[in-house]
Amino acid sequence: MGAVGEGGAGAMGGGTAGTGTAGTGTSGGATGMAGAVNPPTHPDFSPACFLFTTVLGEEILKGASCTSADPQLCYRPCGPNQVGWKTETCTAGVYAEGDCTFPADGEYSCYAIPDEIDVVTCGLTAPPAATDPCEAPLCTTCNYDGFYEDTGSNVKEGYCVCRTPDIGGVRRWTCASADAWPCPLNQGC
């Protein structure tokens, strides 16, 4: 995923903000390299990269070095609330990343994109920043002039939704680029 903070699991999973990734809407999930809570594994996107490290003990992610002794293919969570998965493939000594795809058995109605984003309802005067606190109604897709800010402070085209409260009672944005958003292409949108 590279930039943490663009996900968490479950259709509107709450969870911990930790390093920026959200926890799951269900119990379970493994703790990844950065201490973030990962979503439950999915049989169609297995094995999950967060279950492994390289032989050098490094996290498996885009651009990380790999050898023939390392996992050659695994899946990383992606998308808002980490509801999607993308491949990490060891190619020519580095991990190359695939597109974010979404399980066919997922329910994505909370990520429907409205004809027009209501920035007042979203409470925005600037692009929402992934993992920043928010108060937008649940299942309200938000951005500002088509953009959000990732955890690296990069402005990207895409969307955010405000998660359910974390363990401390704080709601935070979970965001993803337009090409890593489950709607409008998936069922349930």
pLDDT in tens, 92-146: 999 999 999 999 988 899 999 999 999 999 999 999 999 999 999 999 999 999 9
The structure tokens listed for 65 are: 């070095």
Q: Residue 143 domain-assigned? A: yes
Average confidence (pLDDT) over 79-86: 94
Q: Residue 188 domain-assigned? A: no
Q: Residue 68 domain-assigned? A: no
The structure tokens listed for 159 are: 């969307």
Q: Residue 151 domain-assigned? A: yes
User: Tokens 């109605």 correspond to what residue?
Assistant: 109
Residue 127: give the domain boundaries. Answer: 109-180
CA 80 to chain centre: 4
What is the count of structural domains for the chain?
A: 1
**pTM (predicted TM-score):** 0.76
* Edge-to-edge strands, sheet with 173-177: 147-149, 155-162, 173-177
Extract the runs of DSSP E, i.e. beta strands, from the chain: 73-78, 84-91, 94-97, 147-149, 155-162, 173-177
Q: Which of 18, 40, 10 lies closest to 139, judged by CA? A: 10
Q: Residue 165 domain-assigned? A: yes
Please report the pLDDT score of residue 189 as a whole number: 78
The 10s digit of each residue's pLDDT in 16-59 is 333 333 333 333 333 333 335 688 899 999 999 999 999 999 99
The 10s digit of each residue's pLDDT in 152-186 is 999 999 999 999 999 999 999 999 999 999 987 66
Q: Residue 145 domain-assigned? A: yes
Q: Which of 125, 112, 128 lies closest to 162, judged by CA? A: 128
Q: Residue 44 domain-assigned? A: no
Integer distance in angstroms from the first to the last C-alpha of the chain? 23
Q: Residue 166 domain-assigned? A: yes
Within a 10 A sphere around the Cβ of 132, how many other Cβ atoms? 17
CB 96 within 8 A of CB 89: yes
